Amino acid sequence: MAQLRTPPSCLLPFTATAESKNLDSFPPVILWAWERPEDLRFLDNQRFAVAFLAQTIQLSGDKILHFPRQQPLKVSPTTKLMAVTRIETLKKPFPASLSNTQSETIIQRVLQTATLKNISAIQIDFDAKVSERAFYRQLLTNLRSCLPANLPLSITALASFCIGDGWIDGLPVDEAVPMIFRMGEDSKRVRRFLSDGNDFPIALCRHSYGIATDEPLPDNFAKLRRIYLFKGSASGWKPKDLTNFK
């Protein structure tokens, strides 16, 4: 794989709507709004924000497949919004080449989501394999250089990334959200790690938790951290789903 280079220019100059340079201005609970119709106008905007799937980008060979959000999202004008880009690499018909062109195209697509109305932060959701980590690190470095300095950049992280080899340490992001749900084979190991009183050794992972409404909270839950909530059913968010988080 060729060494990735810094994009020659950031093609979408804009002014961010965020008032703050970090995520501390966000409410304590952030709802993930995935690809389904959502009406979240009932939210208390002092308590809840929304991280919505803005687009999915798939890489296959040298190709880039782009799927913008198709389902409606209704929120109050004062709701803080985080635009999420999901990145997936496909094995068939050809493994992703992870080229400079793909990296630069992803960056431009992400920058476009930052121009959407009322965006106060950007989040990247990419479960990078070992062979994809160098590509991802450089992509984040280049993206950060293109984003306004006052627009926070968040990433999701498999919980195992936060207690593993430390490859995400030092990434140019404001946080890495450990996803403590749908962990598969890692579930028992991660939950035992937390129940034994341990904390994630990676500093980026100690700002927040990602949890699901249909799975138990992690033991020794640090209640002062930001909470990202994933709804574990196909239906949209309802007020009753948030009873335990008000």
Question: For residue range 187-244, what is the model confidence (pLDDT) as tens digits?
Answer: 788 888 888 888 899 999 999 999 988 887 766 677 789 999 999 877 899 999 998 8
Residue 5: what pLDDT?
A: 46
Record: fold of 23-245: TIM Barrel (3.20.20)
d(CA 177, CA 159) in angstroms, rounded, equals 8
What's the Cα-to-Cα distance from 229 to each of 9, 13, 115, 170, rounded to whole Å? 36, 32, 24, 25
- What mean pLDDT value characterizes the chain? 88
How is the chain split into domains, by residue range? Answer: 23-245
d(CA 34, CA 24) in angstroms, rounded, equals 23
What pLDDT digit, counting tens, does each position of 149-203 carry? 899 999 999 888 898 878 999 999 999 999 988 877 777 888 888 888 888 999 9
Q: Please, which pLDDT band fits residue 127 given cuts at 50, 70 and 90?
A: very high
- Parallel/antiparallel/unpaired status of strands 119-125 and 81-89: parallel
